[in-house]
């Protein structure tokens, strides 16, 4: 069964948290976790409230980092952060 959009986004967020906690080491779960199958998200009944909370947590951690620090992480993390910042700009107008 394919992950839902929420499971996909929640999986990405958990991957980012895992990567930050491991100081940039890539998780052994590999691509499947980034594609929505993270064990903490897939088939867990992810709510929008849970997704919003985790997004705020990830955003808070990344805001504390400098650009060179963020560049030391995976391309997936960097792209998520870039896209999230763009979304914030559009939302805040």
Beta carbons within 8 Å of 70's beta carbon, 6+ residues apart: 62, 77, 78, 81
Q: In the prediction, which pLDDT does 79 show?
A: 94
Q: In the prediction, which pLDDT does 23 show?
A: 77
Q: Is the pLDDT of residue 92 over 90?
A: no
Cβ neighbour number for residue 33 with a 10 Å cutoff:
20
Tell me whether residue 52 is in a domain. Answer: yes
Tell me whether residue 92 is in a domain. Answer: no
Q: In the prediction, which pLDDT does 40 show?
A: 87
- Domain tally, the chain: 1
| 11 neighbors 35 (Cβ within 8 angstroms) | yes
The pTM score is 0.84
pLDDT 10s digits, 22-74: 876 665 456 777 778 888 888 888 899 999 999 999 999 999 999 999 999 98
Tell me whether residue 93 is in a domain. Answer: no
| Spatial distance between the Cα atoms of 93 and 72, rounded to a whole number of angstroms | 30
| 74 neighbors 26 (Cβ within 8 angstroms) | yes
Tell me whether residue 90 is in a domain. Answer: no
């Amino acid at each position: 069964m394919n992950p839902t959009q929420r499971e996909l986004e929640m999986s990405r967020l958990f991957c980012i948290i895992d990567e930050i906690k491991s100081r940039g080491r890539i998780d052994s779960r590999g691509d499947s976790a980034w594609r929505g199958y993270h064990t903490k998200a897939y088939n867990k009944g992810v709510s929008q409230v849970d997704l919003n909370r985790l997004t705020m947590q990830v955003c808070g951690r990344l805001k504390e980092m400098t650009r060179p620090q963020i560049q030391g992480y995976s391309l997936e993390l960097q792209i998520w952060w870039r896209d999230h910042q763009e979304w914030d700009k559009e939302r805040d107008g």
